[in-house]
Copies of this chain bind each other. A is one copy, B any other.
């Protein structure tokens, strides 16, 4: 039997577990009438946003697909197949995001209802709601890749090689729009709702008299659930794409490459197995993730530490299993056993990066508490200390990535680097599940307040939410690491596919001409220009949040002015208007930064040439990596520094220190939830577009 069918079967098993979780969640009590109303309003807003976003996206996807089909590629019919793969990738990504978000929207009210009974029940509902997203992403991912593999792997002259990057590009494009659009929506609505409600009118968060509260709740879903899902779906499939491309070009260019991968096999057989290897490791990871999901359970009487322990058990268990399965696969496929160390390096680096993020952003540790302390000297001090923490927090991830690269390269040459990324992402199913459950719990809390449920319900959902912050921080660190390793694999694949580098007998990449020297003009100019893209992209997306916020504030003010009885609670605000405004502006604002990310590598490739494009991608990776970590962790630390003060330290809620901490939290929100995470995707998208264009650029020296 062709081994790829194992992957298909695992994908189907994953889907079955998804169905089981869906059935479990849907059978839960939906709560009171009021509760149902609120969660229906949030669902309506979320779906409305997604529908409109997908309509915009569909236009872009169709245009690009037509262009791809019309470009005169090397082989007849290749363009059509690439266009098809591209559309397929986009649809898979949309489907994964949609399914995950819809489930999150159905779980939030039920989590709230469950929280009326017990903390444990609420954890179960929200975690399984989140696990639907996690397992959907990986199941669709592996089934989609398997279909591509089965359909086109036997095309003559390895045309498969040119088709799979198009699939990745489709997924990447959707992810970028989802992350940027969702990020602008969520933070614009959040900040607008807080500014006009908490700050201006002095009413509590999630107060139903605030017309923006539903938009705020919708935002958590479109940004943190759908955006995150699309982001990691992209990483997931693109690591496989990068590994397959690297192997193919490697084996084509230098027969000895197969010797370091599959010493005992004939070249063609080795290539087939090298294509299978990442798919099988991913499949094993899905099995490990499913087991991990079921390991997340606590007894009836639980404390916070037991909850965290339960989630940890899930992810850690899956990690250990994935490592064991990975070793067995590498061994049974007859591959060089050194590859196991490469995979393990990625797996371990990913887990540790998450822990590092947690250290720098959780108020259980010194860095965040120091920000709380600095807040006693005013908002300026909060900002400085938080920003310094964000900058400082770059060192563990960078050192981890550097060490992982060195190990992976030592044991598996350039192929090892790609395999390290595969290892890192193999347990995505469970990592993403622990991540996606947070926004569900957050939403449940919002619903509890709006439905005026007893305070112990909100306390329970707050406990879950706070735990969700920890897992979200870990998840974000992981997502950045995955994006960087993945981009690196894609850049290496680009360089080989564009014919910039060949492979010498040492297992080293060999630059053909002087042009790829780090110090040649095109490379250095490309690198400098590349380093510019991430900051400009961040500036654009942060500004977009500001514009959305201002519009929301205006609308809520207008409703208070014009709708009589609103403040007294006798009339209902028009929630839909705020959702509508946030949707419209977010979708408009997401276009400029997204298009820049699509167009920049193409322009650099054409004007400055293929060598400059390699420099460009590396330059963007360097500043993008630093900025993504800094913005994420500074934002997370500010958020939790505020929470630490709210927990009764340095004067507690309402003190001057608290006001200062709120400034940090407000400033950090668009950094950590819009700009920072979008950078991940931007880096991957630029790399995969370059890879897709590599065959065209191969014979293109650049215009200057």
A interface with B by C-beta (< 8 Å): 191, 195, 199, 374, 377-381, 383-385, 387-392, 394-395, 398-399, 401-402, 405-406, 409, 488, 491-492, 495, 501, 504, 508-511, 514-521, 523-525, 527-529, 531-532, 535-536, 538-540, 542-543, 545-546, 549-550, 553, 614-615, 618-619, 622-623, 625-626, 630, 662-667, 669-671, 704
Contact = CB atoms under 8 A, between A and B. Distances in A.
Q: Which of A398, A518, A618 has the most CB of B within 10 A?
A: A518
Copies of this chain: 2
25 contacts: A191-B380, A377-B553, A378-B663, A380-B663, A380-B665, A380-B666, A385-B542, A385-B546, A388-B539, A392-B536, A395-B532, A395-B536, A405-B521, A405-B528, A406-B521, A406-B525, A508-B520, A509-B517, A511-B511, A511-B520, A518-B518, A518-B527, A531-B622, A535-B630, A623-B623
Contact of A519 (B390, B501, B619): B501
B380 A667 contact: yes
A517 B519 contact: no
- Of the listed residues A395, A492, A511, the one surrounded by the most CB atoms of chain B closer than 10 A to its CB is A511
A574 to B, nearest CB: 23
Which of A195, A509, A528, A662 has the largest count of B CB atoms less than 10 A from its CB?
A528
Contact of A529 (B379, B383, B398): B398
A163 B14 CA distance: 67
Contact of A511 (B380, B517, B549, B550): B517
Given A536-B395, A542-B384, A666 B517 contact: no
Q: Which label, helix, strand, loop or mixed, suits the secondary structure of the A interface?
A: helix
B195 A378 contact: yes
A488 B524 CA distance: 10
A394 B540 CA distance: 13
Contacts of A508: 514-515, 520-521
Contacts of A391: 535-536, 538-539, 542
Contacts of A664: 380
Given A492-B519, A529-B402, A666-B378, A511 B510 contact: no
Contacts of A409: 521
Contacts of A374: 546
A622 B619 contact: yes
Nearest to A406: B525
Nearest to A397: B532
A401 B528 contact: yes
B398 A528 contact: yes
A511 B509 contact: no
Nearest to A614: B518
A518 B514 contact: no
A536 to B, nearest CB: 6
A381 B546 contact: yes
Contact of A380 (B398, B488, B662): B662
A517 B542 contact: no
A630 B392 CA distance: 17
Given A195-B378, A553-B377, A528 B667 contact: no
Nearest to A529: B402
B384 A545 contact: yes
Nearest to A629: B535
Nearest to A630: B535
Contacts of A395: 532, 536
A420 to B, nearest CB: 12
A489 to B, nearest CB: 11
Given A195-B377, A374-B546, A625 B531 contact: yes
Contacts of A543: 385, 388, 392
Contacts of A191: 380-381
Give 6 closest A-B pairs by Cβ, nearest first: A380-B666, A383-B667, A379-B663, A511-B517, A392-B539, A391-B539
Contacts of A665: 380
A509 B515 CA distance: 9
Contacts of A491: 519
